[in-house]
Chain A
Amino acid sequence: MTAAVRAMSSASILANRTGVRLLKLTGLISFLFIWEVAGSAAPAFYSSPTRVVAEMQVLLFEDDLVPLTLETGWTMLVGLGLSILIGVTLGFALGAFRRFSIAFEPWLAAFYAVPTAPWIPLMVVWFGIDREFAVAVVVIGTAVLLAFSTAAGVRETDRQFREVADSLQITGWSKFTKILLPGSIPFIGAGMRLSIKRSFTAVLIAEYLVGLPGLGLIIRGARESLATDRVFASAVAALIVGVVLIAISVAIERRFSRWRPVTF
């Protein structure tokens, strides 16, 4: 009997949007409530939502959260720009030239298997401790990813449109600009979404490691002070920036694939 009641009630809550939203809101509020209670018992251990809000104001108005975050964003932007140039070129070579892909793809895949973080010390050795090295870290972390997603797009487009292109005798440069490039743009967009996520983490770690001004430096400051409120406030700040970046990357991906008819 209880199982039936549970199934019915859960079905009725989950059936409509308002029910789902209310349930999520309840979950969030319960979490904040538990956090607040735990925080009031042991503030040095858990901080608390109210304390974090207060500390966020310090971060915003006294400790340059916004300009530092913009520094991080600028590094990502420059790095991703370079990465697109390298990755898309490489991706087209991989996708369009079978021999090239046979020769180099396994080695690129091996390179891709290494996470970004271990590269950071090498980039410091090569580029010093200014912003250039953080840009290089972004390129190391995302160029091959973009190359692989571009190559996937080129292959998929070629597979779909090869016969049409052949029968209309579209070859060479015009096949590249009229078919392969537009066809692979949604794939590049998807690669961009992953790249934004990856490069954000990479830049944060890079900034943290060498103390480069940016959001990563704020996190490092929190770690060094071990002031509980600061630790949690910097995490919440990073979460907010991360959510904004996810929104941006989803928008980019959607914009890139908007023209595409929803088929296959």
Chain B
Amino acid sequence: MTRTPSALTSLEHSLAGRRTIPQAIRGSDWTVRLLAFVGLLAVWQIASMLMGRLLMPSPARTVESFVELIETGELWDAWLETLFILSAGLGGIAVVGISLGILLGRFRLADTFLDPVLTGLFMLPKLALLPIVALWLGYQEPAKIVYIFLFGFFEVLFTVRSGVRAMEAEFIEVARSYAVPERVMLRSIILPASLPFVVTGLRLGLLRGIEGAVIAGFLLESNGIGGLIFNAGVSFRPEVLFAGLATVAVVGISINVVLHAVERRVAPWTVEQPT
């Protein structure tokens, strides 16, 4: 097995939740950034003039459509629906993912036994699970919640499991040598020590869950933010598409920023180095 450079091993996780903005934020940097943003807007405006507003709505038209979507309540309704199934899915992910992650991290025998099935499910392209979910649960909320669960579950499970495994050597040996009973060990050592991994796993799982929610809105019952985007595409309204995409971006970034802050709070010692 080739060993990869250590900077690489963290690449996947750091890419999944990039904090790219350098630590020391200087005023002049933000001037440059805002200038760049204005430049991007200008390019967008020119592109919309070249491509025609039917294909590429101008920035102004997009903002206008965004305001319309808010006024009609469409955007709000869509996100309310999505946030509902997302939180239900995430609740399931948290409960099952964390407990199974801790169990499998603790008990190698069970972990090894379940490994082929879990790995197979993990490697299965999530789209191929959609017909199974539809077959069993139909195409409404229950199906969507389960689909979101399948998207985010493995992030939590694998992050927590590897975290519990990694702590084995550090804390468990000490606890064992003091003959701490298993139940106390679980409550007062393993649970608190796995908290940072839980938060990281939940952040990754939530980001994957958003993707699952959008795909569910495309392919199951067409509602929520996925349905909004899908219908905007079908009815050829790119300005609505742009506005919808922008809200997905804002939600994604907010989740990243907030949960990164939580990660730093609960486990300041594990926060990764700035790249």
Contact = CB atoms under 8 A, between A and B. Distances in A.
A125 B37 contact: no
Interface stretch (A59-67, A172-180, A256-264): A256-264
A10 B182 contact: no
Contacts, number: 207
Interface in B94-137: 107-109, 112-117, 120, 123-132, 134-136
Given A149-B15, A235-B128, A254 B2 contact: yes
A263 B230 CA distance: 49
Interface residues of A, number: 82
Interface stretch (B63-71, B248-256, B259-267): B248-256
B245 interface: yes
A227 to B, nearest CB: 9
A149 B14 CA distance: 10
B169 interface: no
Nearest to A246: B123
B232 interface: yes
A119 B245 contact: yes
A87 to B, nearest CB: 12
Given A110-B249, A121-B241, A235 B131 contact: yes
Given A27-B115, A239-B120, A190 B249 contact: no
B219 interface: yes
Nearest to B107: A10
A23 B245 contact: no
B210 A115 contact: yes
Interface string A134-164: 0000000000010011001001100000000
A45 B136 CA distance: 7
Interface stretch (B27-35, B157-165, B194-202): B27-35
A238 B112 contact: no
A27 B125 contact: no
B241 A155 contact: no
Contacts of B21: 105-106, 109
A264 B5 CA distance: 6
Interface in A161-198: 186-187, 190-191, 194
A14 B2 contact: no
Contacts of B211: 115-117
Contacts of A254: 2
> Quick one: which of B22, B55, B131 has the most chain A CB within 10 A?
B131
The interface residues of chain B, by DSSP majority, are classed as helix
Given A20-B112, A105-B21, A125-B241, A28 B117 contact: yes
B6 A228 contact: no
B187 interface: no
Nearest to B34: A103
A190 B12 contact: yes
A135 B154 CA distance: 28
Contact of A187 (B11, B130, B132): B11
A247 to B, nearest CB: 11
Given A27-B115, A109-B18, A118 B214 contact: yes
A226 B128 contact: no
Given A6-B109, A103-B33, 4 more contacts: A115-B214, A201-B126, A205-B218, A223-B219
Interface of A: 3, 6, 10, 13-14, 20, 23-28, 30-31, 45, 99, 102-122, 124-126, 145, 148-149, 152, 155-156, 186-187, 190-191, 194, 200-201, 204-205, 208-209, 216, 219, 222-223, 226, 228, 231-232, 234-235, 237-239, 241-243, 246, 253-254, 257-258, 260, 262-264
24 contacts: A27-B117, A45-B135, A102-B22, A108-B20, A110-B253, A113-B252, A117-B211, A118-B226, A119-B245, A125-B55, A125-B233, A156-B5, A186-B8, A201-B126, A201-B127, A205-B215, A209-B219, A223-B130, A235-B128, A237-B128, A239-B120, A243-B123, A257-B4, A260-B5
